[in-house]
Structure 1
Amino acid sequence: MTVSVNEKLDLAHNFVLHTNQNIFLTGKAGTGKTTFLHQIKQLSAKRLAVVAPTGVAAINAGGVTIHSLFQLPFGPLVPGTTQREGKKFNKEKINLLRTLDLLVIDEISMVRGDVLDGIDEVLRRYRTNSAPFGGVQLLLIGDMQQLPPVIKDEEWALLKPYYDTGYFFGSKALRQTPYVAIELTHIYRQSDEQFISLLNSIREKTVTRAQLDELNQRHVPNFAPSDDEGYITLSTHNTAAQQINSQKLLSLKAKLRTFTAAVEGEFPSHTYPTEASLELKVGSQVMFIKNDISREKLYYNGKIGRIKSIDDDVIYVKSQQDGEEIAVYPVDWTNIRYTLDPTTKEIKSEPIGTFRQFPLKLAWAITVHKSQGLTFEKAIIDVSAAFAHGQVYVALSRCKTLDGLVLRSPIPAHSIKTELELEDFNEQVQRQTPNEEHLHQAKLTNQQNLLRELFSFERANGLLYRCRRVVNEHTSSLDPECNPVLTQLTDLLRNKASDVSGRFVQQLPSYFANDNLPENNQALQERIRKAGTYFQALLSTELLPLLHLFPTDCDNKKVRDLMLEALDELEKEFFSKLRSFESCQEGFNALTYLQARNHAELDFQPERKKFERPAPETSGSEGSSRGGLYGALMKWRNDMAGEHNTSGFMVLPQKTILELVRIRPTTEAELLAIKGFGKTKIRQIGTDILRLVQENPSGRAASAATPKVKVTKPLKEPKELSPAITLAFFQSGKTIAEIAAERSLAVSTIESHLIPYVGTGELAVETLLPTKKITTIRSYLETYPSESLSEIRQALGNDVTYSDIRFVQYAIRAEKQE
């Protein structure tokens, strides 16, 4: 199929914006792939994320690295193994993944197939969707004639039994789902037709001797421009780049400073990330060789700058890109050995050495690998010793003009590498180029699937079942009214939602039969509007109000958390459905629906607390309603808890309330027989409990006019519950100092109460300490893990307390347990 430049771009735009089809967008260097990516980010109504395999590529694409977003472990990802190095995602990242419509992966030529399968595994898990990549649409951008993925021999030894190739198209998940391929052919970076023709011949491995001779005329022996001319050298090997950098360094008049790396354990010299003896001067052109892991993200791997000043423990670098001055400190690299356990099938990673140095390299010259995605006005190319596929092409295509290109040495024909598996893949790509009919069918399938999703209540039923399971497993800890409310919800959801939507979905094939897009099918649109009105009313006036009345009283914190989590998920699903049907008031539009659904996911806040019911006047069984003695006791308990700023269960556990309702004690002796009552508690509240029993002889609910019971002295909580009260105070917004004053306890005691909650993950360390202090302590703990508390305190200084250190230690412990 022959199409113009604009038609190809339009086709690519339409597939990205209006279908859920996976797309491989390819093209020669300089054909506008990155420009297309930036346009998609601006125009797309879909929720998208952009990732790339390296820090440089990610910054150029305006995204993040693959390993950062998906928290994948470094090293081979062998199918069927447990990747223990992966971290648990926080709520914010889970929300992002759950609402993701489009994942853009730039520089796909450098992505390994097992990494793509790692992405697939994460998306399926957190989206609870078994479809490849969790149903997320992929836009894969790259040129397979450029740089390949980096795979070490020992890594390929582990992957080879599972993969035919290390390239991305060897991914098992990608082979389970079809994708279209669109190739951009118009070159924007270069305008010289002669240079373009030469680059195309090198890319396609058809370069002639005459063309190579013409290119080699750009060889200028002993070419040595001044720094003011703006040349950068691209070399295939680190050693050649280092030699150039050393010569440039020597020419600077500033004082030479040498920084020696601290190397521990097994860390071979050929794997050092930078020089063990790093020589720098003020005025040196440098490049960062590690991403900044701090929250500020001040630098990334590949960022260029010039040294402005040097101190003993800090180097100040001014960025060439944005002019910012960055304070740079030494960082650590860890050498890890990967092995495959034949029994457990797990990838084992064992730290065997560390390397500590400033994350900088001299950068008057850089490697071709670091240059991918960059454009230079003037460059000195040194690729006569090219050893990998795509190196020569990538290096030459970084230059805008042939006149701005100088060769360090002539390029021999044997340095232009080729790979047969890529030739086969390129032939396959040509067969997967779509046309307008393919686009129409992809739009049709996408809109039909979205309509089926809109009218499905399957997830709501699953979440309601989860609520029932929690109630059934913990009946004794929960309000007796939970089951009646759940029964009502189940009947309502089944009879008025699932059954009705099921009948509607059964009619959809008859509307789909005419091959019109649902968005353009007027008869179907009218049915959708009417159905949407019905389901809006059902959700807003029946399902959500009933859910808001669900009782959540519970003494057992873990059970209550389970219940609240299940209820929140169900309420979020109802809320999302409501917003989705509201988006169809004027008819169905695929992008409008996606926006409404995703915004609902992000905007949701539980509304349950706004709809708590007053105790009703109910006569029946006191154990199954909020009326009668049960209601009176609950009201009294909650009033007391509010008066003393504590939790309800600290005053009177719910199990005890249920026993009081069942036994109805009339004397202190009978009270003493009830579990939860001792002599101390009887002295504190026994008189009030017996009075309430006497006032409610037949289940009559306590009147709203019942005066609040006053207690002359505060309740003396059991010692083992003291930390729980401190936690409740802290979560209510009080500071540690305020809690200590109110409870007449030392600040250190209050801190000791909170430390275990950091360890269990119930309390985020960020709520207790400033980010800068956390980063400082964490960095020291990771560097010196075996030091004692006093040694750590002495090293960090008086600004850090013992409690500060323990807060961070427990936070790290919680992360490892997760």
Structure 2
Amino acid sequence: MVMQTPVNPELQLAGAYVRDTGCHIFLTGKAGTGKTTFLHSLKTDSPKRLVVTAPTGVAAINAGGVTLHSFFQLPFGPFLPGSEATHSQYRFSREKVDIIKNLDLLVIDEISMVRADLLDGVDSVLRRYRRREQPFGGVQLLMIGDLYQLPPVVRDEDWQLLSDYYATPYFFGSQALQQSELITIELKHIYRQADGHFINLLNQVRNARVDPAAMDELNARHIPGFEPDAGEGYITLCTHNRNADAINDARLAAITGKTHTFKAEIDGDFPEHTYPTAGSLELKKGAQVMFVRNDLSPEKRYFNGKIGTITDISSKHIRIRCPEDAALIEVEPITWDNIEYKLNRETQEISENKIGEFKQYPLRLAWAVTIHKSQGLTFDRAIIDAQAAFAHGQVYVALSRCRTLDGIVLSTPLSTRAIKTDAAVRQFSQQGRETPPTPEQLEAARIQYQQRLLLECFDFGRLRRHLRRLVSLLFGNASVVHFSGIDDLGALQRQTEVDISSVGDKFGRQLQGLFSSAGLPSADPAILERIAKASAYFQEKLAAGPARLIPELTIDTDNQALLKKINQARRLALQSIQEKLAAVGSCADGFSPAVYFRAVSGAETERAPQKKKTEKAAVTYRESDIAHADLFQRLKNWRSRKAGESGVPAFQVMHQKPLVQIAVHLPDTLDAMKQIRGIGPQLAKRYGEELVAMVADYRRQHNIETVTLPDPPPQEAKRQAPPSSRDGGTRQVSLELFEKGATLDQIAETRGLAVSTIEGHMAHHVETGTVAVERLVPSAEKRRVIQAAFDQAGAASLRTVKEIMGEATSYAELKFVQAHLKFLSADGDNRQSAASAGPIGDRTPADES
């Protein structure tokens, strides 16, 4: 980062902390120490994507940024911690959300005027759209300002609300900031004043500890009845707007001659409260004016705060003479830009976009100005009327605007009562001065920063949570939701946990073992080798598993509120997958925080391509609606055959509901097949042509040209009723989850029920013949032994059989075999068939339909 010469160690330190760490920084210093210069340099040279903000419109324009309130869409009233839900009603555009997600660094200028609750409001927004668990969503803060200058505005009625949450209204009272490490860097070299004695006087005023000798010396600048000569360039600094306006209006009216009015040219969006000078500027020859902008030309003829007198004026030109210059300055209109921030989707860079401009002569009447508006300006001569100072730091701001003590005239003597400094500010500032950051701390911060980013890179916790949420919603609402595209969602979740999340946890622990407090990870060959291998491994596992399958998931339900929840969960899961693919991919050839940030933010804002929606058949028919029973049986036989060939249960080939819809709609083209509910892209690709051929053959055999659909079944009342209100509804929900691949433990967790309850549900389905006992007790030998125990115990209780079997057999296995025996005994034919086939029977999952 380019710094000014001679070398300023504090500015260099600040630049390094901004560039190479994620620490929050408070850059402070007395008036004239170069804070504004640092900000402008940062905007030009920073490698991080940043947004510059300020608490007021004028300050934002001067800093080349936007206001905090407008960027974060925060109300102007108090922000109470815990009220995030109320403020979340303010909806952000997709563009604004993308900028927030790409943000590396938030700069807040004039931080002394930012209240603690406003900073917590910023924290709330950043957490909402980024990392909820981290203060400010993981965004680095650079706060620039001098707490000894103008304080935040807090009305009494606001403080009555805020005082329950905050010990001080200043920014450092922010609850979010107190959860973070804050690095305070104080700039010490003063560029504005060169007189060491005057600087010492200002320091005493700044700290509100003015000794009697210093007070006498300052008040020696009180000159009763002082009236400067015309052209000397004195400006009066007032505490209130009305006083400054009255002086300027009176002095302008006292000048004889024509008034010239210059209207600003305003294009686009440029709100009046942000005007850098008057929209309608009234001037006369002989008027004292102040420049409100630095001269951008190579000549640098004027600067912000320079004072002069108009010597020649017309509708087309203004010429000004300044006391220290021999040549006249011919002023031309200057353009100020009002910007908003935009995201370049190709480069993932945050850029400034001009939304409005204000073109006007960079002048204002300058016989008087408020102390507040003088902040950041430099004067050679000033008359200071600060006896009515009402805010902490006002007297210091007024005095420190001047280059020399001799350039100050006090209109009234100063009193110790007018020199105010907040006790909390003194204490906070003293702590910062006592613990300045050292080079060793900077190097440690650099190392910790890279270590944190690497651990974050290989942490798959968010993916784990989002995938678990998606699976829970689908399995927990199986009675009203049909999904397809993934053969076994439960298996995908388990595989992702084993191959990705758990391995990521283990790798994170390995990295921590490799980390050293003495070196940067990006320069450690052992770490670079390990993360390159990990990058290849995780990219492969993500691409082959969730990244390939989750996009193919299709969901069908008539419950729109539930569908919205599921789609949101699916979107978050996809986003997590994309983020982790990008993150681990960025480490393939080494590690760089800049490359890592670009990769992750690019994945976060990349919009998934919008799939063209196809209208699925609106009505879901039941088995009783089938008029072509022969075709339905062929379809079921085909499914059993496919299941046998693959060695999987029949439901993993296709659920029965889509088979019913095929048997009713008779789709004889692939496009028509894709319209069937439950036939997603993967099923259509895998089995579509076979199914179309079967249906087309059936239609030819029966000369079916036109398909007449049955009347829609009366399902609406059934859909509206909760599952528990239907006969066996809760057992049915457990069955449908089981058929979709969920284990009994997963079903219990999803439904919030005890595992023993789910075991009871499944025992019921075994007893009714719905579920084969082999699927719950796979070992034929164990089933035989359990049946023998039941034969031995006769009508004895389950506990007696458990005592016979011992600890090697669970109660659940006993229940399932007992239920199967009841199923067999309910039908003599089945009992006889079972006896000839063996103790338990030899049914396979492929026999289930």
TM-score of the aligned structures, taking structure 1 as reference length: 0.62
Return the match for 1:238 from 230, 238, 241: 241
> Partner residue of 2:167?
164
Q: Does 1:297 align with 2:300?
A: no
List per-residue Cα deviations over 1:594-616 (Å, max 9, x = no partner): 222123223x121473999xxxx
User: Could you tell me how far 1:574 is from its partner in structure 2?
Assistant: 1.9
> Partner residue of 1:600?
603
Shifted more, 393-402 versus 522-531: the winner is 393-402
Q: Does 1:447 align with 2:450?
A: yes
> Partner residue of 1:8?
10
Q: Does 1:223 align with 2:235?
A: no
Is the 1:50–1:106 contact (alpha carbons within 8 Å) kept by the matching residues of 2? yes
List per-residue Cα deviations over 1:655-706 (Å, max 9, x = no partner): xxxxxx9xx99998871254599xxxxxxxxxxxxxxxxxxxxxxxxxxxxx
Q: Does 1:323 align with 2:328?
A: no
Is the 2:658–2:676 contact (alpha carbons within 8 Å) kept by the matching residues of 1? no
1-structure distance, mates of 2:523, 2:173: 39
Matches within 5 A, 1:86-125: 87-125=90-128
**Aligned residue type for 2:711:** L
Matches within 5 A, 1:728-743: none
Return the match for 1:462 from 451, 460, 465: 465
Matches within 5 A, 1:698-777: none
2-structure distance, mates of 1:120, 1:397: 33
2-structure distance, mates of 1:295, 1:466: 46
> Partner residue of 2:419?
416
User: Could you tell me how far 1:124 is from its partner in structure 2?
Assistant: 2.9
Alpha-carbon spacing, 1:199–1:441, altered in 2? closer, same or farther (3 Å): same
Return the match for 1:41 from 16, 40, 43: 43
**Aligned residue type for 2:61:** I
Secondary structure of residue in 1 paired with 2:611: helix
Is the 2:486–2:552 contact (alpha carbons within 8 Å) kept by the matching residues of 1? no
Is the 1:24–1:179 contact (alpha carbons within 8 Å) kept by the matching residues of 2? yes
Is the 1:622–1:628 contact (alpha carbons within 8 Å) kept by the matching residues of 2? no
Alpha-carbon spacing, 1:631–1:606, altered in 2? closer, same or farther (3 Å): farther
List per-residue Cα deviations over 1:551-608 (Å, max 9, x = no partner): 2566666555544443333222222222222221221222321222123223x12147
> Partner residue of 2:816?
none
Matches within 5 A, 1:112-511: 112-207=115-210, 211-212=214-215, 215=218, 216-217=220-221, 219=223, 221-223=225-227, 232-251=235-254, 283=261, 296-301=269-274, 303-305=276-278, 307=280, 323=333, 365-376=368-379, 379-401=382-404, 405-472=408-475, 475=478, 479-482=482-485, 484=487, 486-511=489-514
Q: How many pairs does the alignment contain?
A: 585
List per-residue Cα deviations over 1:611-644 (Å, max 9, x = no partner): 99xxxx99526646989964996978996999xx
Return the match for 1:672 from 700, 703, 711: 711
Secondary structure of residue in 1 paired with 2:95: helix
User: Could you tell me how far 1:192 is from its partner in structure 2?
Assistant: 4.2
User: Could you tell me how far 1:510 is from its partner in structure 2?
Assistant: 1.8
List per-residue Cα deviations over 1:470-489 (Å, max 9, x = no partner): 43455566554156363353
Secondary structure of residue in 2 paired with 1:373: coil
> Partner residue of 2:21?
19
Alpha-carbon spacing, 1:479–1:633, altered in 2? closer, same or farther (3 Å): farther
1-structure distance, mates of 2:524, 2:188: 37
List per-residue Cα deviations over 1:79-116 (Å, max 9, x = no partner): 44578466233333333333433332222222222222
Alpha-carbon spacing, 1:673–1:174, altered in 2? closer, same or farther (3 Å): closer
| Runs of at least 5 residues in structure 1 that lack an aligned partner in the other structure | 256-280, 311-317, 327-360, 650-660, 678-818
**Aligned residue type for 1:671:** P
List per-residue Cα deviations over 1:124-178 (Å, max 9, x = no partner): 3333423333333322222121112222222222233333222222223322333
User: Could you tell me how far 1:436 is from its partner in structure 2?
Assistant: 1.9
Is the 1:113–1:168 contact (alpha carbons within 8 Å) kept by the matching residues of 2? yes
Secondary structure of residue in 2 paired with 1:579: helix
**Aligned residue type for 2:35:** K
> Partner residue of 2:820?
none
Alpha-carbon spacing, 1:467–1:362, altered in 2? closer, same or farther (3 Å): farther
List per-residue Cα deviations over 1:292-341 (Å, max 9, x = no partner): 9x97135444621362699xxxxxxx997893699xxxxxxxxxxxxxxx
> Partner residue of 1:585?
588
Is the 2:582–2:600 contact (alpha carbons within 8 Å) kept by the matching residues of 1? yes
Is the 1:568–1:606 contact (alpha carbons within 8 Å) kept by the matching residues of 2? no
Is the 1:53–1:65 contact (alpha carbons within 8 Å) kept by the matching residues of 2? yes
> Partner residue of 1:782?
none
Is the 1:457–1:497 contact (alpha carbons within 8 Å) kept by the matching residues of 2? yes
2-structure distance, mates of 1:495, 1:283: 76
Q: Does 1:517 align with 2:504?
A: no
2-structure distance, mates of 1:225, 1:564: 75
1-structure distance, mates of 2:654, 2:587: 46
1-structure distance, mates of 2:666, 2:468: 28
| Runs of at least 5 residues in structure 2 that lack an aligned partner in the other structure | 1-5, 284-290, 295-331, 337-363, 615-634, 640-652, 678-694, 717-849
Is the 1:98–1:127 contact (alpha carbons within 8 Å) kept by the matching residues of 2? yes
Is the 1:480–1:623 contact (alpha carbons within 8 Å) kept by the matching residues of 2? no
User: Could you tell me how far 1:18 is from its partner in structure 2?
Assistant: 1.8
Alpha-carbon spacing, 1:386–1:673, altered in 2? closer, same or farther (3 Å): closer
> Is the radius of gyration larger for structure 1 or structure 2?
2
Matches within 5 A, 1:534-553: 534-552=537-555
Secondary structure of residue in 1 paired with 2:425: helix
User: Could you tell me how far 1:439 is from its partner in structure 2?
Assistant: 1.7
Is the 1:26–1:181 contact (alpha carbons within 8 Å) kept by the matching residues of 2? yes
**Aligned residue type for 1:511:** L
Secondary structure of residue in 2 paired with 1:109: helix
Query: Among the aligned pairs, what percent are the same residue?
Result: 43
2-structure distance, mates of 1:610, 1:526: 43
User: Could you tell me how far 1:235 is from its partner in structure 2?
Assistant: 0.6
2-structure distance, mates of 1:220, 1:212: 17
User: Could you tell me how far 1:367 is from its partner in structure 2?
Assistant: 1.8
2-structure distance, mates of 1:607, 1:68: 31
Is the 1:549–1:611 contact (alpha carbons within 8 Å) kept by the matching residues of 2? no
Alpha-carbon spacing, 1:20–1:238, altered in 2? closer, same or farther (3 Å): same
Alpha-carbon spacing, 1:546–1:296, altered in 2? closer, same or farther (3 Å): same
Alpha-carbon spacing, 1:637–1:185, altered in 2? closer, same or farther (3 Å): farther
